[in-house]
Amino acid sequence: MQDVADAANVSAMTVSNAFRHPHRVQEATRLKVLEAAFELGYVPNLAAGNLAAGKSRVIGAAVPSVRNSSFYKYVTGLQEGCEAHGHKLIVMLADTMRQEREAVETFIGLRAAGIVLIGNDHDPATVDLLGKSSIPLVESWLLGEPLDMAIGYHIDEAVRAACRHHVAAGRRRIALVGNDRPGTRRFRERPPVFRDEMRRAGLPDNLIVDVDEPHGFSSGPQALDALLALDGEIDAVICPTDVVAASMVFECARRGIDVPGRIAIIGWGDYEIASTISPSLTTVKPHPWEMGHGAIAMLMENGSAGHSQRTVDTGFELIVRESG
Give CA angle at 316 (201, 97), nearest 5°. 95
| Widest pairwise Cα distance in the chain | 79
Contact indicator for 59, 88 with CB cutoff of 8 Å? yes
- The pLDDT assigned to 145 comes to 83
Q: How much is the pTM?
A: 0.80
Q: How far is CA 260 from CA 28, 157, 237, 278, 323, in A?
A: 61, 23, 10, 11, 5
* pLDDT at residue 185 tops 80: no
Q: Do domains 2-44 and 55-152+288-313 have the same CATH topology?
A: no
CB 237 within 8 A of CB 227: yes
Task: Name which residue leads in pLDDT, 110 or 321.
Answer: 321
Residue 99: partners with Cβ closer than 8 Å, 6 or more residues away: 62, 92, 93
- Give bridge partners of residue 58 from the DSSP assignment: 88
* Percent of the chain scoring above 70 in pLDDT: 93
User: How crowded is residue 23: how many other Cβ atoms within 10 Å of its Cβ?
Assistant: 7
How confident is the model over 62-70, as a mean pLDDT? 79
- The mean predicted confidence, pLDDT, of the chain is 90
- Taking only the tens place, the pLDDT of each residue in 252-308 is 999 999 999 999 999 999 999 999 999 999 999 999 999 999 999 999 987 554 455
How buried is 145 (Cβ within 10 angstroms: 0-12 exposed, 13-18 middle, 19+ buried)? exposed
* Residue 142: band (very low, low, confident or very high) from pLDDT cuts 50, 70, 90: confident
> What is the residue extent of each domain of the chain?
2-44, 55-152+288-313, 155-285
For residue 183, the model assigns a pLDDT of 57
| Fold of the domain spanning 2-44 | 434 Repressor (Amino-terminal Domain) (1.10.260)
pLDDT classification of 133: cutoffs 50, 70, 90: confident
d(CA 283, CA 271): 9
Residue 115 has what DSSP assignment?
Answer: E
Q: Which of the two residues, 183 and 4, has the higher pLDDT score?
A: 4
155-285 belongs to CATH 3.40.50.2300? yes
Fold entry, domain 55-152+288-313: Rossmann fold (3.40.50)
Q: Give, as one character, the DSSP assignment of residue 178.
A: E
pLDDT value of residue 217: 85
Alpha carbon 269 to its chain centroid, in Å, reads 10
